[in-house]
Structures are given as C-alpha cells and as structure tokens.
Chain A
Amino acid sequence: MNGPHDLGGAHGFGVLPLEDNEPLFHAAWERRAFAVTLAMGATGSWNIDMSRYARERTPPAEYLASSYYRLWFEGLVRLLEECGLATRDEIALGRMRRPSAPVKRVLKAEDVAKVLARGGPVERDTQTAPAFAVGDRVRARVMNPHGHTRLPRYVRGHLGTIERIHGCHVFPDTNAAREGECPHWLYGVVFDAGEVWGEARAGDSLHLDLWEPYLERA
C-alpha cells in the first residue's frame, strides 16, 4: 500500500531526534507494549508480515504523529480484533466480555530464551532456479498494490543491477494477506543514487533486497 510508512526520500521531517544516553524505553508503557507484542506474536496467531501490515494501516496523520511503540500498540489492537482474539470494547475496558479464542501456544518464561534464539528464519527450499544472475540489469517494477508490499515507492521504475542472490524467501505480499508464504527468490539489487534521485551523486549507491516479482529484466 502507498501508505504513510513508505518514507524513503520524503522531505520536511526535520532534524534527527538525537539524544545523549538515550534510554531503551522512554516510558514504562513502552516496555509493556513491547513485551505484550512479542508475547502475542509468539502465540502464532499471525506472522511478521501481518504485523507490519497492521501497523502501516494506521491512518496517515495518526501514523506520522505516533511513536514507534504507539504504532506497535495500534497494530496489535488491530490484529487482536481482526483475528477474533478480542473486541475493541474488551480492549478499551481491559476486561474479558467474551470467552477466549484458542491460540496455538502461550509463551512461558522458561521458553523465552529458546524462542528468541530460534527467531523466524524465512529462507525456504525451492525447486525453481533464480530468473536473474549477479550482474544482470533489472528494473524495479512500477506497481501500486493496495495490500502490503516491501517494494519502496522511491525505487519503482528505476534501473538496478543484481549484486547478490540471498535465496528463496517468504514473500511478504502474500504472507501479510494470509495467502501463504509463496517463497520467491530474493536479490540484493544496487541502484545508482544519481539515477534514482535525478541528480549527480558521485558514486553513491542504494542497496535494496527485492523479491523476483518486484523486478523485470531491463
């Protein structure tokens, strides 16, 4: 979706909010929002692409005015409702009004280290061969899907060169829509910064990891 999250190249956001001795969390609630988001992720009720898609559907004005953990919180609320795990009333009230829905697993304290260490690798076996080889010239497709995608707007239509083949990775566009992992080849693609931004940028380059459906031969 062409949402407020797709920020590459936008102007007007001002200087960086640099802080000396920055705390890991800026308020007590951020700590809790972080932990409940990870713990709910561990129930297996959704995948990471659904989480990102839920956050980026925060209405644009609200998205840009929200801190990172606020966005996590709003995304979590959206997923709980959409997955039928809680209603908006229950969430506002903080009390159960309807029975729980079954979840695949509940993260226990003693399993946290193991679950974090395992993570969620997204490389998958495949019988297909990659369509592109290192050194091939490609163009990032011009596309504007309504759903989730990881092809940033600022490279669409631009020419790049394949510099690495990462393997066959879960495809976020389908995975976020609960339409399956549909793994595709993922490539490291280098773009010339001057070509992307339309001005001379002696030697500077942009490097993006893009799935095969995002690319066409140039």
Chain B
Amino acid sequence: MELRVRALESLLVEKGYVDPPALDVLIETYEKQVGPRNGAAVVARAWSDPAFMQALRDDATAAIASMGFTGRQGEHMVAVENTPDTHNMVVCTLCSCYPWPVLGLPPAWYKSPAYRSRAVIEPRSVLGEFGVTLSGETAIRVWDSTAEVRYLVVPRRPEGTEGMDEADLACLVTRDSMVGTGLALTPEEARARGLLA
C-alpha cells in the first residue's frame, strides 16, 4: 500500500489537483488539534453549567459551535444524555460516521466489522469487552448514525466530583464515554491513569 499511495499522491500533484502543503496541514489538523479533548470540554461544561446543558439539548450544533468546535462531520449534532436508567451508545453500521469536531478521527475498533455488526444486535456483549457491565434495569439506546446527524453521548457525572472545576472534570471524560462504550472516570481512576493531579 505504501507504494500505491505514494504513486497516487505523485500523480494527483502532477495533475495539479492537489497542493502538497495542504496535505500536511490536513494531517497536522487531525493529529494535533482536533480530538476527544474537544468533546470532553463540552461534556465538562454541560456537567457544570445547567444553562449550557439545556442549550446542548435544544440545539447541540449551536451549543458546541459556541465553544469553537464546528465543521466537517459535525455539521448536525445531537447530544444524548445517560441517566440512571438509560445508557446511550453510538455506531454507524453502514460506514464509520463519527463526530470529528468533538472526537477527532475514529479508532480502529469503531470502524471494525465486529463493532459495526454487533453494536446493534448485542450491545451488552460489546460493552462487556470494554469492561462495562450495566444492570439489567438499564435500557440501552443504540444510535445508528447513518445519516448526517452525529451523536455525542453525555456520560453521567461521577459521584464525589461536586467541587471540581470544568478543567478537572474534563480529565474524567474519556473518548469511549462519549461514544457510549465507556463510562466517565472517577477521580480515583483518573489519578491512577495520571490524567488528574
């Protein structure tokens, strides 16, 4: 593949369809700037500020844009909230649609046939592989995002975080918790992983 891709890139440059510096900027953007820390900031604000949470419910695209996260693969956003009796989980069974402005590019498992096939038919077994076990009482809502609407899961705010500020709260919000294949970390878990001082 290395050679095939290099050949294609040279051809497209020679034909004048592609400007090489633009390729480097595209890569740098997604390697360095856009990623799940954006979504974590959104969730931390939603946990801290009831007015922002309401804005996220009313028009997630606008609320997220107000924090500076807009654009490609996040043009039409919806936020879905986990509660004590509902858990939300997101998949795209037809390709691998994913909310890029808030989560960055999707991990390999999200794009895998295993996740795309199983998330809709056996979400509890999928969650089990992530180490998440929900009680039988918790209803699972699986969002198959096959149109251009992209979903951001707002995980439940862990207990014992009452005094924490937005910046510290964001350290508890993992990528997987915003896809719905994980839960937000407790402060102890975040400290053990070196994510929180």
A18, A94, A122, A193: which contacts B10 (Cβ < 8 A)? A94
Chain B residues with Cβ under 8 A from A6's Cβ?
A: 93-94
Number of A positions contacting B (CB below 8 A): 88
B8, A76: Cβ atoms closer than 8 Å: yes
Whether the Cβ atoms of B11 and A96 lie closer than 8 Å is: yes
Q: Which of A36-91 contact B (CB under 8 A)?
A: 36, 38-40, 43, 52, 55-56, 64, 67-68, 70, 73, 76-77, 85-86, 90-91
Bound-state CA distance A90–B149 (Å) is 37
Q: Is A10 an interface residue (CB 8 A)?
A: yes
From A33, A67, A91, contact of B11 by CB (8 A):
A91
CB under 8 Å from chain A, chain B span 94-132: 94-96, 104-105, 107-109, 111-118, 120-121, 123, 126, 129-130
Residues of B contacting A26 in the complex (Cβ-Cβ under 8 angstroms): 108
Q: With A29-B6, A68-B111 in contact, do A38 and B105 touch (Cβ < 8 Å)?
A: no
Name the residue on B nearest A210 (C-beta): B147
Whether the Cβ atoms of B129 and A18 lie closer than 8 Å is yes
The answer to whether B186 has its CB under 8 Å from any CB of chain A is no
A28 within 8 A of B: yes
**A107 lies within 8 A of chain B by Cβ:** yes
Q: State whether B72 touches A120 (Cβ < 8 A).
A: yes
Q: Which residue of A lies closest to B74 (CB)?
A: A119
A75 to B21, CA, bound (A): 23
Q: How many residues of B contact A (CB 8 A)?
A: 70
The verdict on A119 contacting B71 (CB below 8 Å), with A13-B117, A202-B139 known, is yes
Closest to B26 in A: A35
Distance in angstroms between the alpha carbons of A32 and B26 in the assembled complex:
10
Contact B29 A116 (CB under 8 A): yes
Please indicate the chain A residues that have their CB under 8 angstroms from the CB of B108 in the complex: 17, 19, 22, 26, 67-68
Q: How far is the CA of A17 from the CA of B106 in the complex (A)?
A: 13
* A interface residues with partner B (beta carbon < 8 Å): 5-11, 13-19, 22, 24, 26-29, 31-36, 38-40, 43, 52, 55-56, 64, 67-68, 70, 73, 76-77, 85-86, 90-96, 100, 103, 106-109, 111-113, 116-123, 150, 152, 154, 164, 166, 169-170, 172, 186, 188, 193, 197, 202-211
Provide a sorted-by-A list of 29 A–B residue pairs whose CB atoms are within 8 angstroms.
Answer: A6-B93, A7-B94, A8-B120, A9-B93, A9-B117, A10-B113, A10-B117, A15-B114, A16-B112, A31-B31, A32-B9, A35-B26, A36-B9, A39-B23, A68-B108, A85-B17, A92-B4, A96-B11, A103-B17, A106-B19, A113-B25, A113-B29, A116-B71, A117-B70, A121-B75, A193-B140, A202-B139, A205-B142, A207-B143
